Amino acid sequence: MIDSHCHLDFPDFDRDRDKVISNCIALGVDQIIIPGVSSLQWDKALQLRKKQSCLRVAIGLHPLFLAQHTTEDLTALDTVLSSNSDIVAVGEIGLDYYLPDSDRQGQRELFIRQLDIAREHKRPLLLHVRKAHQEAVQILHEHNHYGGVVHAFSGSLEQAQQYIEMGFLIGVGGVVTRPNAAKLHRTVREVSLHSIALETDAPDLPPVWARGERNSPEQLPAIAQAIADIRGESLDRVAEESTKNIVNVLELS
């Protein structure tokens, strides 16, 4: 299995990162993708990749940290992508309108600039979109960028299908274990298994049985089982197909 979105570089894992990775490999989670959130964090993720071949890295500028990002960071994004072919995607990037005072125009401009850079370097995307799916889909259409993973998908089935038509996978993590997540359950049940990517978003968004605790990529097999139960399919099939999906979309070797 592949965890398509896990912040294993965060300080939450500094005390036991190697043990967590060993446990994951024993559980069958043999690749973990670390997404980028700010330019200050990219180097640590890339250094971890050098030490652990099971780790893969994406770099990007997260919309929630808009106030921290500078024009120089966009230049750095272009430069690092030019010098490191090992980076699997640009992300996590996107739009987050959850807070009413969000700088929506600033987020849009940052998103579009990163889309242009990703297209230039022919990289897929790890998308972070919250309360802004219709606008994100429109921007992706306008800027002709197709392919990647919509991380922690929270939209409707119809919106999921719009992303899928553009070559995106639907990222599903611990939220799917919540009994009240009816909208997500419908999406997981009705989209093709060929359009689903497993993720944890650790250390955030733990499954219900770990609520209040640090989430971990070690939870991925149980999340996959929850998806299998919702779909009425075997765990082996969910694990196999979701892995193929991520390998194909992110062009992993």
Q: What is the pLDDT along the chain (253 residues), one digit of tens a residue?
A: 999 999 999 999 999 999 999 999 999 999 999 999 999 999 999 999 999 999 999 999 999 999 999 999 999 999 999 999 999 999 999 999 999 999 999 999 999 999 999 999 999 999 999 999 999 999 999 998 779 999 999 999 999 999 999 999 999 999 999 999 999 999 999 999 999 999 999 999 999 999 999 999 999 999 999 999 999 999 999 999 999 999 999 999 7
> Does a cis peptide bond (omega within 30 degrees of 0) precede residue 92?
yes
Q: Tell me how crowded residue 99 is: count the other CB atoms within 10 A of its CB.
A: 10
Using the structure block, give the residue that is written with the tokens 């990002």: 69
Cα separations (Å) of 64 from 102, 106, 148, 195, 196? 9, 11, 20, 26, 25
What stretch of H or E contains 84? none
Burial class (CB in 10 A: 0-12, 13-18, 19+), 71: exposed
5 marked as part of a ligand binding site: yes
Gyration radius from the chain CA atoms: 17
204 marked as part of a ligand binding site: no
Strands 168-172 and 31-34: unpaired
Residue 172 main-chain phi, psi, to 5 deg: -125, 125
Residue 30 main-chain phi, psi, to 5 deg: -100, -5
121 marked as part of a ligand binding site: no
Strand partners, 31: 2
Helix (H, G, I), strand (E, B) or coil at 133: helix
133 marked as part of a ligand binding site: no
Closest CA to 160 of 184, 125, 135: 184
151 marked as part of a ligand binding site: yes
Residues 6+ apart with CB under 8 A from 109: none
DSSP strand E in the chain: where? 2-3, 31-34, 55-59, 89-96, 125-130, 148-151, 168-172, 196-198
